[in-house]
């Protein structure tokens, strides 16, 4: 079959070309406008944030030299030449890191248990009453919007300095964050088992236990593990406001210019976060592996 390119009469072609150019021009105009608005917003933001390019380039050398200094021991040698000297306080730091992980664990567990209790009330398909659902949802929103470190600041005053304030702050934040994620899982379940259980005359509680829970347990566990991981990072800075964990040591080291300590503590924090990441990743894999098999 011979290929034929149909050529339109020039009058018709001109009209089409015109329409095409107009469409392209409109699109270009829109892109330009959006870009201009973005740049204007950034410019205003830059003024608001007191951005000073001169300072930045004048002091960017400090950034490199700061890292140079934190990787140098007092004796003037690189830290990795004398690991013993670098990690001189490893016993204290390790126990503080243990405390950090414990803060995260206890806080996550408390928050998860409360979120678990609340989310069935907040999910659209299982919530027993509209008013209750609204109230629980707003409560969770409050818990997750106020940053955990702000709660920690207030709790340090109410409960005194120490890890307890950190645990409670993480727990509160966890209620909000996990409650929302749990609620989303519950809203996505298959409702037929629930109807089946309800048809036997079961109470609301029994419906949740026998129809909803088996469907959501693995998802809940996975989100909880992920939250634990996030909370370890969060707990590592709780000490900045006196709420326990390794943060206290770090902030002292930074403020008092104990350079090599800063790098040692940072390395230990990053190592811990890696280990927790890998551990929870492995556990999540196992959980879902089990789920797939059954």
Partner 1 sequence: MSKLPSANSEDLRARYPAVFNQPVASRAAVPAVFVAALALFIFGLNELEFSPARMLSGLRQLGWIVMMMIPPDPGSSLPAYLAAMGETLSIALLGTTLAAVFALPVSLLAARNIVPSNFFRFPVRRFLDSIRGVDTLIWALVWINVVGLGPFAGVLAIAVSDFGAFGKLFSEAIEAADKKQVEGIRASGGSALHEIRFGLLPQVLPVIAGQVLYFIESNTRSATIIGIVGAGGIGLQLAEQIRVLEWQKVSFLILMILVAVAAIDWISSRLRFAIIGRRAVV
Interface residues with partner 1 (CB under 8 A)? 41-42, 44-52, 55-56, 59-60, 62-63, 66, 99, 102-103, 105-106, 109, 142, 145-147, 149-150, 153-155, 157-160, 162-164, 167, 200-201, 233-234, 236-237, 240-241, 244, 250-251, 254, 266, 269-270, 273-274
Is the Cβ of residue 167 or residue 186 nearer to partner 1 in the bound state? 167
Nearest distance in Å: CB 278, partner 1: 11
Select from 217, 213, 218 the least CA-distant residue to 126: 213
Nearest distance in Å: CB 146, partner 1: 6
> Could you count the other beta carbons within 10 Å of the beta carbon of residue 118?
22
> In whole angstroms, what is the distance from residue 107 CA to residue 129 CA?
29
Is the Cβ of residue 7 or residue 47 nearer to partner 1 in the bound state? 47
Q: What angle do CA 124, 125, 126 make, to 5 degrees?
A: 100
Is the Cβ of residue 8 or residue 51 nearer to partner 1 in the bound state? 51
> Could you count the other beta carbons within 10 Å of the beta carbon of residue 67?
13
Nearest distance in Å: CB 128, partner 1: 23
Is the Cβ of residue 114 or residue 273 nearer to partner 1 in the bound state? 273
Is the Cβ of residue 127 or residue 239 nearer to partner 1 in the bound state? 239
Q: What is the DSSP string of 234-264?
A: HHHHHGGGTSSSTHHHHHHHHHTT-HHHHHH
The CA-atom distances, in angstroms, between 123 and each of 108, 115, 179, 202, 217 are 21, 12, 9, 19, 15
Is the Cβ of residue 19 or residue 24 nearer to partner 1 in the bound state? 24
> In whole angstroms, what is the distance from residue 188 CA to residue 269 CA?
37
Nearest distance in Å: CB 13, partner 1: 26
Nearest distance in Å: CB 45, partner 1: 4
**Percent helix, strand and coil across the chain, each rounded to 5?**
80, 0, 20
Nearest distance in Å: CB 191, partner 1: 21
> In whole angstroms, what is the distance from residue 246 CA to residue 239 CA?
6
């Amino acid at each position: 079959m011979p290929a034929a390119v149909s050529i339109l009469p020039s009058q018709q072609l001109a009209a089409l070309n015109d329409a095409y150019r107009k469409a392209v021009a409109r699109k270009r105009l829109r892109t330009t406008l959006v870009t201009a608005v973005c740049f204007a917003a950034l410019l205003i933001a830059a003024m608001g944030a007191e951005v000073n390019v001169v300072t930045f380039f004048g002091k960017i050398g400090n950034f490199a030299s700061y890292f140079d200094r934190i990787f140098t021991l007092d004796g003037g040698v690189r830290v990795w030449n004398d690991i013993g000297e670098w990690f001189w306080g490893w016993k204290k730091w390790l126990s503080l890191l243990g405390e950090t992980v414990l803060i995260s664990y206890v806080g996550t567990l408390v928050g998860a248990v409360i979120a678990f209790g609340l989310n069935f009330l907040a999910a659209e398909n299982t919530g027993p009453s509209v008013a209750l659902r609204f109230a629980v949802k707003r409560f969770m929103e409050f818990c997750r919007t106020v940053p955990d470190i702000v709660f920690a600041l207030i709790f340090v005053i109410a409960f005194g300095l120490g890890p307890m304030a950190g645990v409670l702050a993480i727990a509160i934040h966890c209620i909000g964050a996990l409650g929302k994620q749990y609620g989303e899982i519950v809203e996505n379940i298959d409702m037929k088992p629930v109807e089946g259980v309800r048809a036997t005359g079961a109470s609301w509680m029994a419906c949740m236990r026998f129809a909803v829970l088996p469907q959501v347990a693995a998802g809940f566990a996975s989100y909880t593990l992920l939250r634990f991981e996030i909370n370890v990072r969060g707990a590592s800075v709780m000490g900045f406001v006196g709420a326990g964990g390794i943060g206290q040591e770090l902030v002292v080291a930074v403020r008092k210019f104990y350079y090599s300590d800063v790098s040692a503590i940072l390395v230990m924090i990053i190592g811990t976060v890696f280990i927790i990441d890998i551990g929870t990743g492995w556990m999540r894999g196992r959980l879902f592996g089990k789920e797939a098999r059954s």
